[in-house]
Amino acid sequence: MGAGISRRSEPEVHVVVVQSQENGQVDAKVVRKSYRKPESEGEVRCGASDDELSSEHHLHSRYIRQPTEGHHSYSKLKSPTHRRRNIPNQLTTRAFEPLRLSSSLSSDHRECAPDFITPSYSDPKHQQRVKAERPVTEELSPVGDIARTTFELFRTYDGAEEYTVYMRDDGKRFYVDFEEQKWRYFPKSWEERGYFKAIDYDPYENSESLAQGKQFRDTRSGEFIHPTKGKLVTYLRQETQNVLYFLDETSGAWLPMPLNWERHVPNITNLAEKVQKACPQWKDTRAIVALLRQCNYSVEDCVSIFTSLNDDGVLDTSEHSGRDMLRAKLEKQLVESRYQLKRMEERNKELEMDNEILQTKLQELEMENRRLKRDAERHSKYQQQIVRIYYNIQK
Same domain, 142 and 120: no
Please tell me the total count of domains within the chain: 3
Residues 6 or more apart from 244 whose CB is under 8 A from it? 256, 257, 262, 265, 268
pLDDT at residue 145 is higher than 70: no
Rounded to two decimals, the pTM is 0.31
Residue 62 placed within a domain? yes
Q: Which residue has the higher pLDDT, 70 or 28?
A: 28
Contact 233, 221 (CB under 8 A): yes
At 339, is the pLDDT very low, low, confident or very high (cuts 50, 70, 90)? very high
Q: Which residue has the higher pLDDT, 386 or 48?
A: 386
Alpha-carbon distance of 55 to 42, in angstroms, equals 27
Query: Residues 103-109: contacts with CB within 8 Å, 24+ apart?
Result: 103/26, 104/18, 104/25, 104/26, 104/27, 104/28, 105/16, 105/28, 108/30, 109/16, 109/28, 109/30
Alpha-carbon distance of 289 to 294, in angstroms, equals 9
Contact 306, 296 (CB under 8 A): no
Q: Which residue has the higher pLDDT, 41 or 286?
A: 286
3-state secondary structure of 306: helix
Same domain, 92 and 44: yes
Same domain, 28 and 84: yes
Same domain, 122 and 9: yes
Phi and psi torsions of 381, nearest 5°: -65, -45
Residue 150's DSSP bridge partners are 167
**pLDDT for the residue numbered 144:** 41
Residue 282 placed within a domain? yes
Residue 384 placed within a domain? no
**pLDDT for the residue numbered 217:** 62
Domain that holds residue 170: 137-211
Q: Round the average pLDDT of the chain to a whole number and report it.
A: 68
pLDDT at residue 114 is higher than 50: no
pLDDT at residue 82 is higher than 60: no
Give the end-to-end CA distance of the chain in Å, rounded to a whole number: 148
pLDDT at residue 103 is higher than 50: no
Same domain, 12 and 82: yes
Average pLDDT over residues 127-152: 49
Q: Which residue has the higher pLDDT, 162 or 279?
A: 279
Q: Which residue has the higher pLDDT, 72 or 231?
A: 231
pLDDT at residue 14 is higher than 60: no
Residue 12 placed within a domain? yes
3-state secondary structure of 164: strand
At 220, is the pLDDT very low, low, confident or very high (cuts 50, 70, 90)? confident
Same domain, 43 and 110: yes
Domain boundary pick from 211, 233, 260: 211
pLDDT in tens, 355-389: 999 999 999 999 999 999 999 998 998 888 888 88
**pLDDT for the residue numbered 72:** 42
Of 1, 235, 203, 236, which Cα lies nearest the Cα of 101? 1
Residue 270 placed within a domain? yes
Residue 350 placed within a domain? no
Contact 175, 184 (CB under 8 A): yes
Distance set, CA 194 to CA 107, 163, 249 (Å): 64, 10, 38
Distance set, CA 234 to CA 88, 219, 285, 386 (Å): 68, 11, 24, 99
pLDDT in tens, 281-320: 888 888 899 999 989 999 999 998 888 887 666 565 554 4
Domain boundary pick from 186, 211, 236: 211
Same domain, 162 and 184: yes
Residue 104 placed within a domain? yes
Same domain, 56 and 166: no
How would you write 31-49 as a 3-class SS string?
Answer: EEEEECCCCCCCCCEECCC
Average pLDDT over residues 128-145: 45
Residue 268 placed within a domain? yes
pLDDT at residue 83 is higher than 70: no
**pLDDT for the residue numbered 158:** 78
**pLDDT for the residue numbered 388:** 86
Domain boundary pick from 309, 342, 363: 309
Same domain, 205 and 263: no
Same domain, 13 and 116: yes
How many C-alpha atoms does 34 have within 13 Å on its Cβ side? 3
Contact 284, 316 (CB under 8 A): yes
For the ranges 87-96, 147-156, 159-168, 330-339, the lowest mean pLDDT is seen at: 87-96
Q: Which residue has the higher pLDDT, 25 or 211?
A: 25
Tally Cβ neighbours within 10 Å of residue 385.
Answer: 9
Same domain, 43 and 100: yes
How many C-alpha atoms does 251 have within 13 Å on its Cβ side? 6
Alpha-carbon distance of 150 to 385, in angstroms, equals 113
Same domain, 156 and 99: no
Distance set, CA 271 to CA 294, 307, 310 (Å): 13, 17, 20
**pLDDT for the residue numbered 216:** 53
**pLDDT for the residue numbered 230:** 79
3-state secondary structure of 346: helix
**pLDDT for the residue numbered 102:** 38
pLDDT at residue 148 is higher than 60: no
